């Protein structure tokens, strides 16, 4: 099942990684300082499903449109964006379902637990981050090196 | 209104961060997760860059009585480690490893209009909805 798409090897993006990471951290700081919210993307998205108040929906939608618009602006400014999908369509479907169920059940994803939760010194987030990093690495090991 | 404008602008900054660090590219994320292969440490640098900003500044913000534009802070209420947390994190990790996409990069990557990205996001929404159904039934 592996290698339906070519395996892409990437070399470290040191400067981009640090600057990009700082920008993500800055965004998280702004959302907490201005709106009093945690910049956890799965939580912001999930709130659209369960939120009842209209004002709750609007800021969530605005953030998500901002995410898409930001990537769109980057494509316009730089001419392109490397986006190399690593899985077949059926696999992307399964992966999307797992990410949706898992982030809802586990109350967060890489941004919510990894960036914001750790900054809040939350033991739940530290544990969640260690677990999803471990199962993700194990999944990649199995799909790339075993099957 | 101010909060909605702020959320939109913050979404743009967040997406720039994902694009500049190339975390929006699943190949790079899987390169990080492939610890026994040709390992790419970039994701670790992104986490370090983000935490360098959030670790010292979050406590300063939370020390205030309220945020600048809202009446109060809305923070996660759960503090106990429970089974849903552990199980959910494990399931999320499996999906993340299969696709190389977590929610932020997947939503931002919709800008590419690639069919695979759209498919992933629809499946992710469906997964969140299914899990939320289970929550209301069990509580």
- B5 and A62 within 8 Å at the Cβ level: the answer is yes
Which residues 49-88 in chain A show a CB within 8 A of chain B? 49-50, 58-60, 62-75, 81-87
Nearest to A131 among B14, B74, B86 (CB): B86
**Can you tell me the distance from the alpha carbon of A109 to that of A94, in angstroms, rounded to the nearest whole number?**
17
B42 and B109 co-located in one domain: no
Q: Is the pLDDT reported for residue A25 higher than 90?
A: yes
State whether B110 and B69 are in the same domain: no
**Which of A19, A20, A42, A82 to probe by mutation at the B interface, max B CB count within 10 Å?**
A20
Residue spans per domain, chain A: 15-146
Condensed to tens digits (0 to 9), the pLDDT of residues B53-110 reads: 999 999 999 999 999 999 999 999 999 999 999 999 999 999 999 999 999 999 999 9
| Listed ranges A5-9, A53-57, B50-54; the one with the highest mean pLDDT | B50-54
Does B139 share its domain with B99? Answer: yes
Say how many domains are in chain B.
Answer: 2
How many other C-beta atoms lie within 10 A of the C-beta of residue B110?
A: 18
User: What's the pTM?
Assistant: 0.95
pLDDT tens string A106-131: 999 999 999 999 999 999 999 999 99
Are B70 and B137 members of one domain?
no
Cα–Cα distance for residue pair A52/B34, rounded to 1 Å: 41
Q: Percentage of chain A surpassing pLDDT 90?
A: 84
Q: Report pLDDT for A53.
A: 84
Domain C-terminal end among B56, B75, B94 = B75
Structural domain range at position B101? 79-139
Instruction: Kindly report the average pLDDT of chain B as a whole number.
Output: 95
Cα separation, A122 vs B81, whole angstroms: 10
What's the whole-number mean pLDDT along residues B2-9? Answer: 97
Claim to verify: residue B64 and residue B17 sit in the same structural domain:
yes
Q: What is the pLDDT of residues A32-77, one digit of tens each?
A: 999 999 999 999 999 998 877 888 899 999 999 999 999 999 999 9
Nearest CA in chain A to B63: A33
pLDDT at A54: 83
One domain, residues B49 and B1: yes
User: CB burial class (10 A; 0-12, 13-18, 19+) of residue A111?
Assistant: buried
**Does one domain contain both B71 and B101?**
no
Of B23, B25, B93, the CB nearest to A131: B93
| Token pair recorded at residue A143 | 């799909």
B72 touches B66 (CB < 8 A): yes
C-beta pairs of B107-110 under 8 Å, 24+ apart in sequence: B107/A41, B107/A45, B107/A64, B107/A67, B107/A68, B108/A67, B108/A68, B108/A70, B108/A71, B108/B14, B108/B15, B108/B18, B108/B19, B108/B24, B109/A71, B109/A83, B109/B24, B110/A68, B110/A71
The ipTM is 0.96
Same domain, B69 and B91: no
B106 and B56, same structural domain? no
């Amino acid at each position: 099942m592996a290698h339906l798409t070519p395996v892409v090897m990437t070399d470290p993006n040191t400067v981009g990684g640090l600057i990009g990471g700082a920008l993500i951290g800055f965004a998280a700081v702004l959302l907490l300082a201005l709106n009093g919210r945690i910049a956890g993307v799965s939580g912001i998205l999930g709130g659209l499903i369960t939120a009842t108040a209209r004002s709750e929906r609007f800021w969530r939608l605005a953030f998500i449109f901002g995410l898409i618009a930001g990537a769109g602006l980057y494509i316009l400014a730089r001419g392109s964006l490397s986006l190399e999908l690593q899985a077949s369509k059926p696999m992307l479907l399964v992966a999307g379902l797992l990410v949706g169920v898992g982030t809802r059940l586990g109350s967060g994803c890489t941004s919510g637990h990894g960036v914001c939760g750790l900054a809040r010194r939350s033991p739940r987030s530290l544990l969640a981050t260690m677990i999803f990093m471990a199962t993700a690495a194990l999944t990649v090991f199995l799909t790339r090196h075993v099957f | 209104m101010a909060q909605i404008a702020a959320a939109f602008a913050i979404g743009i900054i967040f997406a720039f961060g994902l694009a500049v660090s190339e975390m929006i590219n699943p190949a790079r994320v899987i390169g990080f997760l492939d610890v026994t292969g040709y390992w790419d440490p970039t994701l670790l640098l992104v986490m370090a860059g983000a935490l360098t900003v959030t670790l010292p500044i979050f406590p300063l913000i939370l020390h205030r009585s309220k945020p600048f534009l809202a009446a109060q802070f809305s923070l996660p209420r759960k503090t106990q480690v429970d089974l849903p947390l552990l199980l959910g994190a494990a399931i999320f990790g499996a999906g993340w490893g299969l696709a190389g996409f977590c929610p932020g990069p997947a939503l931002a990557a919709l800008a590419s209009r690639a069919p695979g990205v759209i498919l992933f996001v629809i499946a992710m929404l469906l997964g969140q909805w299914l899990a939320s159904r289970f929550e209301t039934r069990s509580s």
